[in-house]
Amino acid sequence: MTTVARRKTPKSGTGSAGPGAVRRPGRAEVTRSPGEPRRLGWLYVLPALLVYGGFLLWPLVRGAQFSLYDWDGLGTAEWAGLSNYTGIWTDPALRGAFGHLLILVVFYAVLPCCIAFVLVAVMSRTKIRGLVFFRTVLFLPQVVAMVAVAVAWQWVYSADGPVNTVLGWLHDLGLPDWRRGWLGDFTFALPAVGLVGTWVGIGLALVLFLAGVQKIPRELYEAARIDGAGPVREFFAVTLPGLRRELAVALTLTTIMAIRNFDLIYMATAGGPGNSTKVPAYEVYNRTFNTGEVGLGCAIGITLAVLAFAATAGIGRLVEGKGA
Amino acid sequence: MSTRGERLVNHAVLAVFAVIAVFPMIGIVTQALRLPGLDFSTFGTAWREGHFATYLRNSVIVTSITVVVSATLSIMAGYALGTMRFRGATAVFLLFLAGLTIPTETIVVPLYFDLRSMGLDNTYAGLILPQVAMSVAFGTFWMRAYFRSVPRSLLEAARIDGASSWTTLWRVLVPIGRPAILTMLLLTTMWTWNEFLLPLVIINSDEALRTAPLGLSFFQGSHKTDYPLLMAGALIIAAPVVIVYVFLQRQFIAGMLSGAIKE
């Protein structure tokens, strides 16, 4: 499958980017050609490095610096040490925001992967007709601007929207009346936002797993059959281990999506009602521009960068294991 | 080996989830165009009242400059890191790699204050420069992978023919690397077009410079629950990327799934 084949190109690149131990025998070939000035490489790298350094790395450094001060954005800043970071844990609203992030990770990452796994297990490994079409449609939520997605889902959850319409029918059938303004409800707003993430993530996980299953050698399944494995055993013994790499990719991408979900929260709930959908990504903005706590906002931002880095570095290792 | 029943289950599962995936989008289109009657009046109202012509123009300007500049810089940097050996190359590569995981949320606050003191808030440059920086991190990483995969013999052949490293890059490697470059262009286009937080913070007073997603958020502010109108706005800002995606989905998907190699 093209998707997978393409993905591998950069992967092998990354692998050998490290200490280079694996590639050492081939190193002589990669050396500069004779007559190539030693510093030429720098000339090619420099323009990109300057913009990157000036507008990404430098703000990162400045953010770390700001996070150590108490500053309202206007007056003079006062040294605060690490108090903004400890503030993240002592301020109940912020602790709550990180708690919400944890819940959203379940909705954005864990749930889509579980659902996609069940679907892949149910589906047999036959050639799927119209796979390109299904892949295109399932992946569509990934490319639509989150701002537009937010508007669409506000309608889905609105008082007269499709969710309440269906619940209205169920009510007519004798079930209790479950209709409500979902995004304005203290209990249900967060799960409602989470389900939008689930919706975005399922397609991604499914596309990845479908591609992965096709790569698992047929003989493994035949061997499992001969050993008398049922469909469940077969799934846990063959399919699940075979999809480790895809699972790691899906979990990483969706977790990052959960961490960076400012757009959806800002558009759909603005953290409300009350604090019930406040998340760190939104609090970076909120604390800086609404409550004038710039240092705190930057501390949350740096914490998010650490979390995003830990997620990318950690999930792969966790899922694929050291030997894989 | 595969019975009819199995095949049916497969397609039923995929069909159900395909419907779920497009359901909100169908909502957008049916409401915006008042289907099945096809009435463009809501669409027209949204277009006029939302000033979307201006916002789309801004998005086109910001996106095209960001994409062209970042692609040029990424190709050059990726070329050096992928084919040349020089002191500090590995360190530079790791530096770019680190940038792949940094969320916009982390840098947007310092960017706001520093760009403001440089007089770059409420300017195209204030939107373009940070987005070039974000795109260059991925682009360099992506292009380096491509240049590493180019057979060494090709580079040597070009050199024997007397081509300089510059000519080799633009005349030999870039033309044959079109698929990899196309994927990079598509992804940076999508990211830049859809970016919301940065314009929200940087374009804080000059309405005439708002990008399309930012325009939609202000449009929502003034038409709270008028869903047909809001849906028309959502359709306007999402359509350009979606149309390109439908035609080039393979490149999009390949690139986006590669985003996970940020190990």
Which chain B residues in 84-103 lie under 8 Å from chain A, judged by CB atoms? 84-90, 92-103
Domain membership flag for residue A227: yes
Q: For B93, which residue in chain A has the nearest alpha carbon?
A: A17
The answer to the question of residue A11 being in a domain is no
- Among A119, A199, A249, beta carbon nearest to B13: A119
Query: Would residue A30 count as lying in a domain?
Result: no
Name the E strands within A27-186: 69-70, 78-79
Helices B249-258 and A131-139: crossing angle, nearest 10°? Answer: 60
**Tally of domains within chain A:** 1
Q: Which fold has domain B33-261?
A: MetI-like fold (1.10.3720)
Nearest by CB to A253, from B87, B103, B260: name it.
Answer: B260
* Cβ separation A57–B95 shorter than 8 A: yes
- Domain boundaries, position A130: 39-320
Question: pLDDT tens for residues A39-64?
Answer: 889 999 999 999 999 999 999 999 99
**Which value does ipTM take for this structure?**
0.90
Amino acid at A287: R
Low-confidence residues in chain B, pLDDT < 70: 1-2, 259-263
Using CA atoms, how far apart are residues A146 and B200, in angstroms rounded to an integer? 14
Which residues of chain B does A155 touch, with a Cβ-Cβ cutoff of 8 Å? 24, 27, 31, 227, 230-231
B153 touching A, CB under 8 A? no
CATH code for the domain in which residue A297 is found: 1.10.3720.10
Intra-chain end-to-end CA distance of chain B, in Å: 39
Q: What is the 3-state secondary structure (H, E, C) of A115-151?
A: HHHHHHHHCCCCCCCCHHHHHHHHHHHHCCCHHHHHH
pLDDT value at residue A154: 92
Using alpha carbons, list the distances in angstroms from residue B82 to A13, A65, A269, B75, B155: 9, 34, 45, 10, 12
Q: Which of A10, A17, A162 sits opposite B142 (nearest CB)?
A: A10
Residue A55 within any structural domain of the chain: yes
CA nearest neighbour of A278 among A294, A255, A299, A261: A261
- Counting as low any pLDDT under 70, the low residues of chain A are 1-38, 124-126, 321-324
The helix/strand/coil state of A217 is coil
Contact B227 A140 (CB under 8 A): no
**How confident is the model over B198-238, as pLDDT tens digits?**
999 999 999 999 999 999 999 998 888 788 899 999 999 99
Q: Note the residue count of chain A.
A: 324
The pLDDT, as a whole number, for residue A36 is 57
> How much is the pTM?
0.88
Q: Note the pLDDT of residue A321.
A: 67
Domain boundaries, chain B: 33-261
Chain B, 21 to 80: residues with Cβ < 8 Å from chain A are: 21-25, 27-28, 31, 73-74, 76-77, 79-80
